[in-house]
């Protein structure tokens, strides 16, 4: 039987002790980037306010109007140049410096704020905004910060597309993610709503195999709160810098 989680303000909890050799899995969501000024999908004034999801975040929408899709993502690329990592990003980069390969940092975000904070080997399960790939051939995705006025084409003649995972597409690297989950001793979700799958199901998978402590950090109680041991409510930028005690 799954115990009832403790849900309270983050200030009511002590640091999470991490012993050398323990494996830590950190999953970050939109709430982390929102504190740096990146608009989220769901908030008033957010990314979808002037756009239907079906038009700008599905393969079908891209096939109907690639020009509009590229204008949408080009605006996001321009916005990405203005934002800076916040204390949560910086704290996770420091955690990576201390834990090395014992930290698996997985993000649902497509921005580069973790990397700009100094994190290495970040797993972008929903792709990267500043990357482009061909919609047809096997050309490898490539770094690309360009803001396009018209839809660009690959050398093969097919349309290039943003290297992000759209609704109805499979997230990147799920086998790698589940391999990491199988070895996890401490699982921490930061700033994710618990509503978007498969990421929202990672914590229930860990509950099923009965291996890891599971902690949530974020402004609001997530949809999957029942699966965590603790839900620490508050801003990621205020809670994450003192969250881990590595011994």
User: Which residues lie across from 90 on neighbouring strands?
Assistant: none
Distance, in Å, from the CA atom of 138 to the CA atom of 48, rounded to the nearest integer, reads 30
For residue 89, indicate whether it is catalytic.
Answer: no
Out of 114, 124, 126, 205, pick the active-site residue: 126
- Element at 162 (helix H, strand E): strand 160-164
What residue spans of the chain are helical by DSSP H? 30-34, 53-56, 59-64, 66-80, 87-99, 113-117, 174-182, 202-209, 236-239
Strands of the sheet containing 160-164, edge to edge, are 142-143, 127-134, 160-164
**Residue 104: both structure tokens together:** 């698996």
Provide the 3-class DSSP secondary structure of residue 34: helix
Residues assigned a catalytic role: 126
């Amino acid at each position: 039987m799954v115990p009832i989680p403790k849900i309270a303000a983050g200030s009511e909890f002590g640091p999470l002790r991490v012993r050398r050799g323990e494996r830590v899995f950190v999953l970050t969501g939109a709430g982390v980037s929102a504190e740096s000024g990146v608009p989220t999908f769901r908030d008033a004034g957010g990314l979808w306010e002037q756009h239907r999801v079906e038009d700008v975040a599905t393969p079908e929408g891209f096939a109907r109007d690639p020009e509009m899709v590229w204008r949408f993502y080009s605006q996001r690329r321009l916005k990405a140049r203005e934002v800076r990592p916040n204390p949560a990003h910086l704290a996770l980069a420091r955690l990576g410096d201390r834990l090395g390969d014992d930290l698996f940092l997985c993000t649902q975000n497509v921005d580069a704020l973790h990397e700009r904070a100094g994190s290495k080997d970040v797993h972008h399960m929903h792709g990267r905004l500043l990357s482009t790939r061909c919609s047809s051939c096997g050309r490898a995705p490539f770094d690309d910060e360009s803001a396009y006025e018209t839809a660009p084409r690959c050398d093969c003649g097919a349309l290039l597309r943003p290297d992000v995972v759209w609704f109805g597409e499979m997230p990147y690297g799920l086998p790698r993610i589940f391999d990491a989950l199988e070895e996890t001793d401490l699982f921490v979700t930061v700033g994710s709503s618990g509503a978007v799958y498969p990421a929202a199901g990672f914590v229930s998978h860990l509950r099923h195999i009965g291996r890891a402590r599971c902690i949530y950090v974020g402004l609001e109680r997530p949809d999957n709160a029942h699966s965590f041991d603790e839900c620490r409510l508050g801003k990621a930028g205020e809670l994450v810098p003192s969250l881990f005690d590595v011994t």
